[in-house]
Amino acid sequence: MTLDRRLAAFRPDLADAALRGQVEAARYVEGTPARIGVPVADLLSAPDGDAGMDTQLLFGDPVRVFERRDGWAWVQATRDSYVGYVAESVLAARWAEPTHVVAVPRSFIYRSDDLKSPRRAALSLGSGVNVSGMSEKRGTRYAALAGGGHMIAAHLRPAGSVADDYVAIAETLERTPYLWGGATAFGIDCSGLVQLSMRMAGRDVVRDTDMQASRLGTALGDDLAGLRRGDLVFWKGHVAIMLDGENIIHANGHTMSVAREALRDAVGRISYLYGGPTGLRRP
């Protein structure tokens, strides 16, 4: 079995100790736990700022670090096993297990428990934070963060609680800008939309379209008329989420945003350039 380098940490000089006996490497390491300490961290294909971005990690996301060198860290994301390079500076110097997650598309960290105070950062849907206390001012409740700053308490939910309908989460991201490799509410691609929406519904799923097309849920036939809300339609390099039996929502390069569209219109438009749907799946 050939290992996927996107999902297994191995190079000729260094590999995850868990892969000993499966791959040849000069050295094996266990990897040390860490968490992302910035709002969004780009996971790159090489330790180079000009390298392609494969995906993104959110504030509070757990990773394993296999190497730190020359300002870069070679890591594997815990949630989806994706392997790549991040700037070493994005790793939190100190961190605590998140107690809450951001449950709205975007929210701010304020310096104090006052919505008029200066903002320190903006976090995406799905970001994990450690809440150390609560306060209320002028009828608005604030969550104090262990690392400093305050957030609107209504924008958070306890870690471990999940949404009932992942499609409803995707709908809240409508009009989010399209970003190749994007996986946040600041910018997102087609498979990132599927992954982030399902994450909020309690399912950590694989990242890329080809992975989702072969592993996510169960394969359906080729009858587009039999689709229902939540089903996935795949093309070569693209995926869309069914809103109902006739309409989809997807992050796409046509509108450069997350947009709704009639499935038949998308099939006609995409098929002209890239061919028809390649698969249907029910997650």
Taking alpha carbons only, the member of 188, 166, 163 closest to residue 175 is: 188
Q: Give pLDDT tens digits for 179-234.
A: 999 999 999 999 999 999 999 999 999 999 999 999 999 999 999 999 999 999 99
Neighbour count for residue 33 (Cβ, 10 Å): 11
Q: Give pLDDT tens digits for 55-114.
A: 999 999 999 999 999 999 999 999 999 999 999 999 999 889 999 999 999 999 999 999
Q: Give pLDDT tens digits for 142-186.
A: 999 999 999 999 999 999 999 999 999 999 999 999 999 999 999
Q: DSSP secondary structure string, 154-197?
A: GGEEETT---S-HHHHHHHTTTPBB-TT-EETTEE-HHHHHHHH
Question: Whole-model pTM?
Answer: 0.96
- C-alpha span between 169 and 105 (Å, rounded): 9
- C-alpha span between 193 and 185 (Å, rounded): 9
Which structural domains are found in the chain, ordered by start? 15-90 (2.30.30.40), 100-158 (2.30.30.40), 166-282 (3.90.1720.10)
The full length of the chain comes to 283
Q: Which residues pair with 154 in a beta bridge?
A: none
Spatial strand order in the sheet of 100-102? 128-129, 100-102, 156-158
